[in-house]
Structure 1
């Protein structure tokens, strides 16, 4: 790697996790030291938003510079300008943090190709990719799955045998393949249900719990799907960010070889050594989350009842995990059901253990989801939606 200040390129810097990563990159007191941070965004308005946000950080900055590159999606011959720009930008990076999407294979290949080129010019050319635990979720139904597997990232058999058809898996395998061949050093971070209040430049709320809150506002009472006995583990957004930054420091360390060991293996074996869950061990029943949400919103006078109720799981094909009938052509009744019913990943089960991060980079989650934390998050969402004028729109007239 070049002896100059490392260049870190961030995709997804205006998203929830990506924004928190950007905040931590600029303000965190970690072993990375000086760094040049480059954020890729898709519009001039996002560029201005990032600049305005960063200017307010002031004395919090830790000697790290920030620049923004606008690379608009689409455009160019065959609509490939975005991917061509992503490859070119990555070819000058010591490290790419990909927090924009877990499902774009063309972007994944473009970044990988750019990073391989970066190594030829003396850059480290490393990658950290953000995946997600829908990778290991059960079928949807809103009920507990007694035979559901607990996945531990130190369990080779468990990680290797995740279905190739699982959500995000084709992307993870593509990345694992180039890492295992020794073409670039890298890691895949796979967070479970992410909670907490983001500190980034734009999106500051997550997906699953905010959706439960939105559906409570629309229905006039909290809801869950089925019995609500399905459960997920959780992780705070700042803890996801800290893991990504610890792995960043490790990959950029002068003592790091900068190359993965070449392995003649196939399928999931290729990514086992680079795969990290981000999770705390406690499981949260969705009916319990709905109960706290109901009490919190009712106390604020935003819903008519504090008691959650059950809704049936929308029809889906159990043989096509993650492919829902609700994604097809929609009738008015279907659309109304979508407005009332919590989204797909609130209907499934996920149980995972993050063993490798503590052992390898001394990562320990500092926050654990409890009733106090959930109440604070619900109140935060409400204030965010009140401030941007969407709160009344979320409530059914």
Structure 2
């Protein structure tokens, strides 16, 4: 029988791009796509019509709630790729966990594999707890997903996304019939290839702020916070590698690839300071003719459109490179900024000077 794969978030930026890569690489898999309603289902069908994609089934709640459908489908699949608001949606994570626990004909040698999308916003916790808003990173704020694993598994409960991560990790303690992996990307950029949403959040958010306010923001007092970044194509290539590992028993049963240790960062080794990115976006606005000059200002965290600019998030993606031979191949961040600014100017209908 073909391997069954359940994916949430196909209408989203990340999930849509992941699915485009998966179905191109593995059209033989049996895909079930869970969406929120019929309107979204129709948008997906426009790009993936049934007559040319016989292995794709789209489901959504009609008489049953979304989480009920999700739990039921999770109990009947082989691989789960959860990306639909996955980092902070507790009910959906609980539904998936419940589905896994009620699954029939499963065993440690025939487990369900759950690949969960989180984010490196979880690493902002130290600055937020200690009120280090707008400050440069401290040495101990960089986390390596192999060397820092004990710290990652014991992050404080107040860390962003931690409540959902604990649900995913906790399933490993409840049954031996599951293999989990948590993927935590940093700032993602690039145009997605999905059927609906093809743009990210952070960079377009800053571009909109600049166009609406006429200056480049950085969070006070120093504006020297740092994040890592990665192109959307490299995020999807990591998910592809994990799906391929899930159907390979030698890799699936490796505790370094799936299980409690399977925490994956994905960065390209070229971190950015938010103040620099903001200023460069403003420079692009000037060169494109939307602003007269580059003006930068320090703002309070409450004034910043993108709250993640206020805290540091530094990660090292050792696990995927070591165990999955993953490497980044997508374009660097800076050359993408002109396209980000142009896209947001068009979305806002901003006229050139």
TM-score normalised according to structure 2 size? 0.87
Cα distance in 1 for residues equivalent to 2:96 and 2:185: 21
Counterpart secondary structure, 1:391: coil
For 1:32-43, list aligned pairs within 5 A: 32=26, 34-43=28-37
- Give me the whole-angstrom Cα distance separating, in 2, the residues matched to 1:271 and 1:310: 43
Q: CA deviation at 1:243?
A: 0.5
SS of 1:292's equivalent in the other structure is: helix
Task: Note if contact 2:60-2:66 (Cα within 8 Å) is conserved in structure 1.
Answer: no
Alpha-carbon distance in structure 1 between the residues aligned to 2:287 and 2:341: 12
Q: Deviations over 1:28-81 (max 9, x none)?
A: x3xx561011111111111111111224997xxxx8722211226xx76xxxx2
Give the aligned partner of residue 116 of structure 2. 129
In structure 1, what is the equivalent of residue 215 of structure 2? 221
Q: Aligned partners of 2:54 and 2:215: how far apart in 1? A: 46
Asked if the contact 2:137/2:226 (under 8 Å) is kept, the reply is no
Q: Does 1:86 align with 2:70?
A: yes
Q: 2:287 aligns with which of 299, 304, 325?
A: 299
Q: Which residue of 1 aligns with 2:225?
A: 230
Check 1:130–1:191 CA distance in 2 against 1; reply closer, same or farther (3 A cut). same
Decide which of 346, 349, 352 is 1:391's aligned counterpart.
Answer: 349
Q: Which runs of 5+ in 1 are unaligned?
A: 262-269, 315-336
**Alpha-carbon distance, 1:132 to partner:** 0.7
Matched, 1:118 2:103: yes
Does structure 1 residue 253 correspond to structure 2 residue 248? yes
SS across alignment from 1:26: helix
Q: Distance in 2 between the 1:135 and 1:42 partners?
A: 26
8 Å contact kept, 2:229–2:333? no
Alignment of 1:46-85 (within 5 A): 46-55=40-49, 65-71=55-61, 81-85=65-69
For 1:179, the equivalent position in structure 2 comes to 172
- What displacement does 1:349 show? 0.7
1:15 aligned residue:
12
User: Do the aligned partners of residues 183 and 218 (structure 1) sit closer, same or farther apart at CA in structure 2, a change above 3 Å counting?
Assistant: same
Within 2, Cα distance between the matches of 1:374 and 1:56? 37
- Structure 2 matches for 1:1-397, cutoff 5 A? 4-27=1-24, 29=25, 32=26, 34-55=28-49, 65-71=55-61, 81-100=65-84, 101-120=86-105, 124-137=111-124, 138-139=127-128, 141-155=133-147, 156-180=149-173, 181-226=175-220, 227-255=222-250, 272-314=260-302, 337=303, 341-367=304-330, 369-383=332-346, 385=347, 390-392=348-350
Q: Counterparts of 1:131 and 1:111 in 2: how far apart (Å)?
A: 15
Whether contact under 8 Å (1:217, 1:302) holds in the other structure is yes
Distance of 2:253 and 2:111 partners within structure 1: 6
**Alpha-carbon shift at residue 171 of structure 1 (Å):** 1.3
Distance in 1 between residues matched to 2:169 and 2:293, nearest whole Å: 48
Q: Distance in 1 between matches of 2:106 and 2:260?
A: 29
SS at match of 1:301: coil
RMSD: 2.7
TM-score (ref. length: structure 1): 0.78
Give the total of aligned pairs. Answer: 339
